[in-house]
Amino acid sequence: MNNLTNIVKSPTRISNQSSSLIDVMIINNTENETFTVNQNLGYSDHLAQLLYIKTKNPIEGPIYRHKRLFAEKNIEEFQYSLHKENWNEVTSSDEPNTSFNIFMDTFRYYFNTAFPLTHYRRLTRKCVIAHPCVDGSRISAFSCTTSNTRVFKLV
C-alpha cells in the first residue's frame, strides 16, 4: 500500500512471556540497501532500533547542523512569555481545532523566540557516537568521509 514497507524483521519487545514486533520503521524507498539492528539500551521494555541505509549518492559539500540552546535564561524567558500571554482567544473558541491551532501558533512563536534555531557548519565529516548498553557494551555509529554511509557496530 503506497509502497510503504516495514523494514524491521525481528522482535522489538521481548519479555519473559513473549516477544513481538510492535515497533516498526516504515520506508517508502526500497531501492537503497537497508539493515536494521535492535539493541537493548536498558531504558524500556522495548528495544532501540538502529537503521543503516547505504545510498547511491555521496554527500556533496559541507554538512550543516541545527541546534537550540536550552539554557536556564532561555527557559525562564519561555516560561515568562507563556505566563504573561492572554489565552482568551484559545479558550473562547467553540471549535476545538481552531483553539488548538491558535494555541500551537502561540506556543510555537514563544518557543522559537526563546529557543531560536541556530545553524552551523560541521567542519569534519568523521563522527563517532557511542551509546551505552545494558550489558556494558556500546553501539557506535561511524560516518564515512567519502559517502553518507553509516555503519553501526557493537563494541
Q: Domain range spanning residue 83?
A: 69-116
pLDDT of 90 higher than 50: yes
Mean pLDDT, the chain, whole residue set: 77
Please indicate, yes or no, whether residues 22 and 44 belong to a single structural domain of this protein: yes
Find all residues with CB under 8 Å of 155, minimum gap 6, and list them: 130, 137, 138, 139, 140
Please indicate, yes or no, whether residues 59 and 127 belong to a single structural domain of this protein: yes
Q: What is the pLDDT of residue 10?
A: 86
Q: Where are the alpha helices (DSSP H) in 72-127?
A: 72-84, 88-92, 96-114
Average pLDDT rounded to a whole number, residues 103-122 = 90
Cβ neighbourhood burial of 93 (10 Å; 0-12, 13-18, 19+): middle
The residue that leads in pLDDT, 26 or 136, is 26
The residue that leads in pLDDT, 50 or 92, is 92
pTM: 0.45
CA gyration radius for the chain?
Answer: 21
pLDDT of 89 higher than 60: yes
Domain count, the chain: 2
Please indicate, yes or no, whether residues 45 and 25 belong to a single structural domain of this protein: yes
Pairing of strands 33-39, 48-54: antiparallel
pLDDT of 146 higher than 90: no
Please indicate, yes or no, whether residues 41 and 90 belong to a single structural domain of this protein: no
Please indicate, yes or no, whether residues 32 and 81 belong to a single structural domain of this protein: no
pLDDT of 138 higher than 80: no
pLDDT in tens, 22-70: 888 888 877 777 878 888 877 788 888 888 877 777 666 677 788 888 9
Determine the Cα–Cα distance for residues 111 and 105; give it in Å rounded to an integer: 10
